[in-house]
Amino acid sequence: MTPTAEHRPTYATTDLDNLAYNFHSVREFLGPQNKVLAVVKANAYGHGAVGCSRRLESEGVDWLGVALPEEGIELREAGIRVPILVLGSFWPGQVDAILDHALTPVILTFEQASALNNAARRRDLTADCHLKIDTGMGRIGVRYDAVAELASKLSMLTNIRIDGVMTHFAAADDLEQRSFTKLQMQRFDQSVEILRSNGFAPTFVDLANSPAAIAYPESRRGMARIGGILYGLGGDVLPAGIPAPTLKPVLSLRSAIAHLKNVPKGETLGYGRTFMTVRDSVIATVPIGYADGYPRAVSNKGKVIIKGGFAPVVGRVSMDWTIVDVTDIPAGIGDEVTLIGREGSLSIAAEDIAQWAGTISYEITCGVSQRVERRT
Ligand SMILES: *Cc1c(COP(=O)(O)O)cnc(C)c1O
């Protein structure tokens, strides 16, 4: 452990070599006929969007995907040159920023298509965009049964080009819902057919997210939009027991013991007094809390690695501090605490924390907050 002089010793590390490993592993698994759009929204699922995007670009990624124009602008300002798809489209005031930064927006409504068309016409250019079809997620995009009507209206907009058509699966991670996933594919195919018969000729036709790309080869169609598995987060989004690329975890989260105390049997610890010592105990306090993204939901459930042993989280995780029981570990002040990551033969994955907290690993990595020092 090398705490920096200026910071408390709580930090997150993004292993860019493992990110690159996962990228090549996934790309090889999908085959050369499929392009990879790496999804780096939400600060690359908490792994640092600029660092991850630079590395993926140098490894040969075809596209990057962000949720918001703001996220795409950050990448362009950092010098990223590969095509960037803005999955969540844009708000009315953002259409010029989209064109200024050469971002490719996803279009969800005719009004957006029209706004983009007007802005492109003012600049005397044709703007590329991708059209999102809602085939069963029920969230954003044009409903599959409204595509025909939209297609004829879109044909009148001469300053945009629908260069991609996409949809998003609701339950590709759950093979028991296979028939619904197949229904989404059917609805999508019909929608693309309608667009083609109206004269549209999209270069990209993409459906697959991480679970679909791995579990449903027929969903790949030349490009897959891959997020979670690039960050090694396959554990709770890939169906068990299917062929899958090998993945390595990318994020680790570490801190150090700040305080140690002997607490006699029968005393309570933390807010709400939810834990009582059942023996004379040695209790360590770690400077990380739910304000850092270590979830309060792991109170009395989680564990951390210290000196080659697991130490259970005791009592409530609070905003700035977490208490762990080190009675069985020869721990000292300043000893390294691994909250996510590997230490010797022991490891804790983001998926483990997610399970203790009753959520998915994506929420855990996305949740590592601004307050946590970042290292690569
Ligand atoms: C976030 C997102 C993805 C990536 O999903 P993963 O499960 O992380 O692979 C793909 N497509 C769209 C539209 C998304 O919003």
Choice among 21, 41, 45, 216 that is catalytic? 41
Average pLDDT, the chain: 97
- Expressed in angstroms and rounded, the spacing between residue 363 Cα and the centre of ligand 1 is 13
Contact call for residues 368 and 253 (beta carbons, < 8 A):
yes
pLDDT tens-digit map of 75-92: 999 999 999 999 999 999
3-state SS string for 153-199: HHCCCCCEEEEEEECCCCCCCCHHHHHHHHHHHHHHHHHHHHHHHCC
Which residues lie across from 346 on neighbouring strands? 343
Lookup result for tokens 């998915």: 360
Apex 98 CA angle, 92 and 102, nearest 5: 165
pLDDT value at position 68? 98
Ligand 1 geometric centre to CA of 14 (Å)? 20
The encoded tokens of residue 303 equal 């564990």
Using the atom order of ligand 1, give the atom closest to the CA of residue 132: 13
pLDDT digit string, tens, across residues 282-333: 999 999 999 999 999 999 999 999 999 999 999 999 999 999 999 999 999 9
Residue nearest to atom 15 of ligand 1 (CA): 87
Instruction: Name the burial class of residue 272, with classes exposed (0-12), middle (13-18) and buried (19+) by CB atoms within 10 angstroms of its CB.
Output: exposed
Q: How far is the CA of 224 from the centre of ligand 1 (A)?
A: 9
Average pLDDT of span 43-59: 98
Say yes or no: CB of residue 55 within 6 Å of ligand 1. no
Residue having the nearest C-alpha atom to atom 7 of ligand 1: 210
C-alpha to C-alpha distance for 376 and 366, rounded to whole angstroms: 17
DSSP state of 249: -
User: What single-letter amino acid sits at 118?
Assistant: N
Judge whether 39 and 53 are in contact, CB under 8 Å.
no
* Residue 360 CB–ligand 1 contact under 6 Å: no
pLDDT digit string (tens) for 120-163?
Answer: 999 999 999 999 999 999 999 999 999 999 999 999 999 999 99
Given this model, what pLDDT does residue 265 score? Answer: 98
Write out the H or E segment, with its range, that includes residue 357. Answer: helix 350-357
Nearest to 151 by CA among 112, 218, 197, 115: 197
pTM of the model: 0.96
The per-residue pLDDT for range 165-181, each reduced to its tens digit, is: 999 999 999 999 999 99
pLDDT at 217: 97
Does the Cβ of 225 fall within 6 Å of ligand 1?
yes
DSSP letter for each residue of 48-94: -HHHHHHHHHHTT-SEEEESSHHHHHHHHHTT--S-EEETT---GGG
Residue 218 CA to ligand 1 centre (angstroms): 17
The share of the chain scoring above pLDDT 90, in percent, equals 98
pLDDT band at 4 (very low <50, low <70, confident <90, very high): low
Q: In whole angstroms, what is the distance from residue 3 CA to residue 336 CA? A: 10
Catalytic residue, chosen from 153, 182, 261, 271, is 271
Identity of the amino acid at 245: P
pLDDT of residue 7: 86
Q: What is the DSSP string of 15-36?
A: -HHHHHHHHHHHHHHH-TTSEE
Instruction: State the pLDDT at residue 1.
Output: 44
Mean pLDDT of 236-258: 97
Q: Among 87, 207, 250, say which to mutate for ligand 1: greatest number of ligand atoms within 8 Å of CB.
A: 87
Residue nearest to atom 3 of ligand 1 (CA): 209
Residues with Cβ within 8 Å of 69's Cβ and at least 6 positions away in sequence, in order, are 86, 90, 91, 94, 97, 98, 101, 103, 105
Q: Is 307 marked active-site?
A: no
